[in-house]
Amino acid sequence: MRKKLVSRQQQESAWRWRKHLEAVKKIGGVSDEAMSLANSHVKADNIGFEQGEIRPDEKLGQWDLYYSLLYCNIPPDECLLLSGLSASEIAEQNRREELENAGIDPDNVSEVAQFERLEAMSPDDLSVEITRLEKALGIQSL
């Protein structure tokens, strides 16, 4: 059986991850199980572009590790520490996903503003706004 060659990029990425995880271990707040799992995910032969691998790009790799650990039922706070992502990055990504799931382009400022305006309305205010839009568009109310 031929052994897969480990590229320099994979080795450098694995080294960065090893240093990061050593620092996290010193700080604490992560279970042994989570640390062990993170270490196994960031070995050089697990770094690459295939499904299930940690991408060598630092930011993409952080997201890969975060979701890999989360899918293994590691608590989110430990996933944050181990991946090196911040709570604000996770919140921003969750908001982007929420907008995309609602059919809103998260990069379109006017669409986001309109969505947020409608989202903040009470049911009565929303009903009034729908009626106003129907009149403006010449649509009969049901």
Interaxial angle between packed helices 32-41 and 76-83, expressed in degrees from 0 to 180 and rounded to the nearest 10: 50
**46, 56 Cβ separation under 8 angstroms:** no
**Bridge partners of 54?**
47
The residue segments making up the domain with residue 129 are 92-142
How many domains would you assign to the chain? 2
Mean pLDDT confidence for 63-84: 96
76 pLDDT above the threshold of 90:
yes
End-to-end C-alpha distance for the chain, whole angstroms: 69
Would you say the pTM of this structure is higher than 0.85? no
- 23-62 pLDDT, tens digit per residue, is 999 999 999 999 999 999 999 889 988 888 999 888 999 9
| Co-location of 81 and 13 in the same domain | yes
| Co-location of 55 and 79 in the same domain | yes
5 pLDDT above the threshold of 70:
no
| Co-location of 75 and 10 in the same domain | yes
| Co-location of 78 and 103 in the same domain | no
SS3 (DSSP) at 54: strand
| Co-location of 43 and 71 in the same domain | yes
Q: What is the pLDDT of residue 101?
A: 96
